Amino acid sequence: MSYRILDGRRVAETRLQRLRQELERWSGAEGHRRPFLAVILVGDHPASASYVRAKRRAAAEVGIDSETIHLPLDISEEELLGHIHRLNADAAVDGILVQLPLPEHINPDRVIAALDPAKDVDGFHPINVGRLVLGQPGFRPCTPAGIVELLRAYDIELSGRRVVILGRSHIVGLPLANLLLQRGMDATVTVCHSRTPNLAEITRTAEVLVVAIGRPRFVTAEMVCPGAVVIDVGINRLSDPTHPRGYVLVGDVDFEAVAPRTSAITPVPGGVGPMTIAMLLENTLHAAQRLYYPSAQLSNQPATTKAPLASAAAPSP
């Protein structure tokens, strides 16, 4: 049996072309401007810096303006929070992204909680997490949203399917489980992690297996049921002196061994990663459109005097 390669690069490119057209219409309309994305990068870890460059390059290609706020590795949490408060208050900024991971001395939960939820294009703020869990409108985390859209692009049904997610991170595993449990998505979801006993027994029950555990080539052929769909979220740099870059990218799945057993599988690179970026830019348009937070002040309009509350205006009985 042969398998399909789920080409995230191609699907993302198609979505970015559509987004570019939508942005042209949006930004050209009366009283509108191009969306603006602020990206905060602390330190200059090579992988983080390269993700930030990839996001900004893709943004520019579709018509989203952006800036990188590049902060020193030893910046204090207070100072970082100061930048976030400034960007929250800046009506010219539609979306704010804090590139993760942050250095050890900074608590990422406090930093993310400081974001204006209406500008949280990564969908990590507790308000957006809560809205996802409850099935209310809000920003969805980019990688889980990208996985769902990639499967949709290949007409891979999730409704009624048994999905096993390997990894419980707040960035991928946990929000993906919540997304797939939504009414209308209707998957049956199991979340496993590095401390799950008899992991292979569970992964073998998956019709769709999503791997986001962060260990190179962790998933081997014995862990996958024949005919399964395998989504590899891992991006691991393995040092390889024979390579011009000095490293190769490998996923969390041993692709060579696993692919022949599957009905469909994502490659690394070129699978989930490009979809993540496409979803980020779609979220940024939605931030500019105030799609999920309609009462958030429009950045291209002056603040209007709030109408008095009915209870305050109405005479007491």
Which residues contact ligand BQF by CB under 6 A?
Answer: 51, 54, 99-100, 235, 268-271, 273-274, 276-277
CB of 21 to ligand BQF, least distance (A): 22
CB of 273 to ligand BQF, least distance (A): 2
CB of 28 to ligand BQF, least distance (A): 29
Instruction: Check 65, 94, 116, 122 and give the catalytic one.
Output: 122
Instruction: Check 94, 99, 116, 254 and give the catalytic one.
Output: 99
CB of 314 to ligand BQF, least distance (A): 50
In this complex, which beta carbon is closest to ligand BQF, that of residue 91 or of residue 238? 238
Is 55 marked active-site? yes
In this complex, which beta carbon is closest to ligand BQF, that of residue 11 or of residue 75? 11
In the complex, residue closest to ligand BQF by CB: 273
In this complex, which beta carbon is closest to ligand BQF, that of residue 58 or of residue 187? 58
Q: What is d(CA 37, CA 261) in angstroms, rounded to the nearest whole number?
A: 41
Cα(first)–Cα(last) distance of the chain, in Å? 77
If DSSP codes are grouped into helix, strand and coil, which group holds residue 253?
strand
Question: What is the per-residue burial (b if ≥16 Cβ within 10 Å, else e) of 228-251?
Answer: bbbbbbbbbeeeeeeeeeeeebbb
3-state SS track over 23-70? HHHHHHCCCCCCCEEEEEEECCCHHHHHHHHHHHHHHHHHCCEEEEEE
The DSSP element (H or E) to which 231 belongs, if any, is strand 229-232
Q: What is d(CA 304, CA 253) in angstroms, rounded to the nearest whole number?
A: 53
Give the sheet arrangement for strand 36-42, strand by strand.
65-71, 36-42, 95-98
In this complex, which beta carbon is closest to ligand BQF, that of residue 99 or of residue 284? 99
In this complex, which beta carbon is closest to ligand BQF, that of residue 121 or of residue 277? 277
Is 122 marked active-site? yes
Report the chain's C-alpha Rg in angstroms.
21
In this complex, which beta carbon is closest to ligand BQF, that of residue 12 or of residue 288? 12
Scan for tokens 């608590």, then name that residue: 107
CB of 275 to ligand BQF, least distance (A): 8
Q: Phi first, then psi: what are they for 212, rounded to 5°?
A: -140, 65
CB 111 within 8 A of CB 96: no
CB of 245 to ligand BQF, least distance (A): 14
List residues with catalytic annotation. Answer: 55, 99, 122
